[in-house]
Amino acid sequence: MNNFFKIVAAAALMINGAVAQVKWTADPAHTNARFDVNHLGISFVDGEFTKVSGSIDAPTKENFDNAKIDFTIDVNSINTRVDARDGHLKSDDFFNAEKYPAMKLKSVSFKPGKKGKYILVADLTIRDVTKKVTFDVTQNGGIITDPWGKTRAGFTAKATINRFDFGMKYNDKLPSGVEAVSANVEITVNTELVLN
């Protein structure tokens, strides 16, 4: 009977080991969400959200395959370097920051590609709309120990979305039919993670 209990205990330990995860937390001082959008068909306007929080649960501290990713972006932290434009973007024409103050990004899958590359499929929520978006992700420079003894990893994720898919309303056009602000928006999320 003792052998039976030893086998059960060993099996339980193996199961617990298989599902154990390590948590990484986004360093807010080194994490942002950026965007670029075509303006009047002749130039690009860029900006960023300076307040981004998030975490990643990975299988081990060396392996991010199938990691669980959960990030929140503070819409009111938008910064395009022009106060009037920031105010317009916070209005109901675009984000409606008063009613929907946060954007959410939660992974559906996170699969490895070529070395240092991943494909992230995530549920992205803007305003009250959630859509699946595919991001190309690059791990920047592997895993390092910083001068203060903390373990860090850096990632850059890129995708293109259609802002109208997320309920944004602004749709002015030039007489030629060119959109004043393009429907397509390029997104870049840069994050520096710290191992808990």
Mean pLDDT for the chain overall = 92
Identify the burial level of 76 via C-beta atoms within 10 angstroms of its C-beta, where 0-12 means exposed, 13-18 middle and 19 or more buried: middle
- Domain assignment of residue 98, yes or no: yes
Range of the domain at 57: 21-195
- Judge contact between 75 and 91, C-beta under 8 A: no
Residue 97 confidence (pLDDT) above 80: yes
**pLDDT score recorded for residue 116:** 84
- Judge contact between 142 and 154, C-beta under 8 A: no
Please, which pLDDT band fits residue 14 given cuts at 50, 70 and 90?
A: very low
Residue 57 confidence (pLDDT) above 80: yes
* CATH number of domain containing 107: 2.40.128.110
Mean pLDDT for 51-55 is 97
- Domain assignment of residue 10, yes or no: no
Residue 53 confidence (pLDDT) above 70: yes
- Domain assignment of residue 146, yes or no: yes
**pLDDT score recorded for residue 115:** 85
**pLDDT score recorded for residue 3:** 58
Strand, helix or coil for residue 52: strand
Number of domains making up the chain: 1
Q: How far is residue 175 from each of residues 167, 170, 179, measured CA to CA in Å?
A: 24, 16, 9
Please state the three-class secondary structure of 54-91 as a single string. EEEEECCCCCCCCCEEEEEEEHHHEECCCHHHHHHHHC
105-127 pLDDT, tens digit per residue, is 999 999 999 888 999 999 999 99
Choose between 2 and 182: higher pLDDT.
Answer: 182
Least confident of 8-17, 28-37, 161-170: 8-17
147-161 pLDDT, tens digit per residue, is 999 999 999 999 999
- Domain assignment of residue 148, yes or no: yes
- Domain assignment of residue 5, yes or no: no
